[in-house]
Amino acid sequence: MRPAAPLRAAAGSAASVLLAIAIAACSPCGGDGGKADASSACPDSACAVLATTLPAAPVKAEGEFTVLTFNLDHWADEDRDGDPSTLEPKPEAETAAILETLRALSPDVILVQEAAPGAPFERLRDALGYPHCHIAAVDPSGLDIAIFSRIPLDPVTTATNDLYTIGPRKFPVRRGILDATLRFPSGAAVRLLGAHLKSKKFHEFGQAEMRRNEARLVCNRVRSALKADPAVPVLVLGDLNDTPSSAPLQEIRTYQNKPLLTDLRPTDALGDAWTYRAEDDACLRHDYALASATLLPYFLPGKTFIPNHPALAAASDHRPLYLTFRIPDPATPPPPLPVIPSPRPFSADD
């Protein structure tokens, strides 16, 4: 879902200015062409703000790997100027904000939602330069799940035959389920399932029921993966289009009232966990990283966060999640379980 056009245009213009300042390393500030520290040269300027908010990845130690998931908000060629005879790519300021952020963070694995196959996917693939890439290319609207990885993917497929029934109709998972196994040089493996569940847009068969059924099929995939090889941890990533307490999230996270996956719940620098900004300016959690019990000991909360940047607010209505894990070592006992920060409790009267 996207903000209204005038608001988005204004935000995009602001983002373009902010990003240009950031990329130029705050050259308008001070007299040394941007070589001086921006925060000391012009503490009240826009570039001083950006100097403290540009996303920076934690230092990755040997034996660790990093993963990022991000809904790119229509990385596609579409009618953006009101003339349906021509199709335009995502605006330059939005594209630059996304690419600069992904390059700055440089995760080992990037899972994205709302990337169109064909030329848009190829532009993203070429700009990122990752050796292992795959796009689901099953969504009828052409906004698919894609993965870019430095870690070999073997195998990588898209589940398209998983069906559910509502009344007289059978439905597939609209965007499929991207199923990739990360193969590390040590022989370790992690199974990654990428999902983008049905949006909350109206559907005659009920958008909430459709999303719940899609979530159930994702859960089936998790259970099948853990049954096929219990030693291989499972990570579910993506835009699940609902809140943590919703029925679809319970369908994925639990089975027969028993926990199946743990919500890793990244937060930003302020401790906020929201990932999606709706048209009415409500901030909600729609994007998730859910880990099996076999992956949880290798999770590093201190190196996991939600990147924040002024230009990203105009580039997408979602925020990315950046996560760090130790590479599992089946030959040694797993480390102690990490402590995952819980949400702050609020009074029911707030």
How far CA 28 is from CA of 23, 52, 187, 313, in Å, comes to: 12, 17, 50, 23
Domain ranges (residues) in the chain: 1-54, 64-326
pTM of the model: 0.84
CATH level 3 topology of 64-326:
Deoxyribonuclease I; Chain A (3.60.10)
In terms of Cβ atoms closer than 10 Å to its own Cβ (0-12, 13-18, 19+), residue 240 is buried
Q: Is residue 101 within a helix (H) or strand (E), and if so which, with residue range?
A: helix 92-105
Query: Given CA atoms 210, 213, 219, 221 in this order, what sign does their dihedral have?
Result: negative
Distance CA 41, CA 204 (A): 58
Q: Is residue 157 within a helix (H) or strand (E), and if so which, with residue range?
A: strand 153-159
Percent helix, strand and coil across the chain, each rounded to 5?
Answer: 25, 25, 45
Residue 182's pLDDT is: 98
Count the Cβ atoms, other than its own, within 10 Å of residue 100: 19
Contacts (Cβ under 8 Å, ≥6 apart) of 169: 205
Model confidence over 32-75: pLDDT tens digits?
433 334 333 444 444 444 444 557 889 999 999 999 999 999 99
The 10 Å CB-count burial string (b at 16+, else e) for 266-282 is: bbeeeeebbbbbeeeee
Distance CA 301, CA 321 (A): 12
Question: Roughly how many angstroms between the first and final C-alpha of the chain, as a whole number?
Answer: 28
User: What pairs with residue 277 in β-bridges?
Assistant: 283
Q: For the chain, 350 residues long, give each residue's pLDDT as a single digit of tens.
A: 454 444 444 444 444 444 443 444 333 333 343 333 433 344 444 444 444 455 788 999 999 999 999 999 999 999 999 999 999 999 999 999 999 999 999 999 999 999 999 999 999 999 999 999 999 999 888 899 999 999 999 999 998 888 888 888 888 888 999 999 999 999 999 999 999 999 888 777 778 898 999 999 999 999 999 999 999 999 999 999 999 999 999 999 999 989 999 999 999 999 999 999 998 999 999 999 999 999 999 999 999 999 988 888 889 999 999 999 999 998 889 999 999 888 877 766 65
Contact (CB, 8 A) for 175 and 145: yes
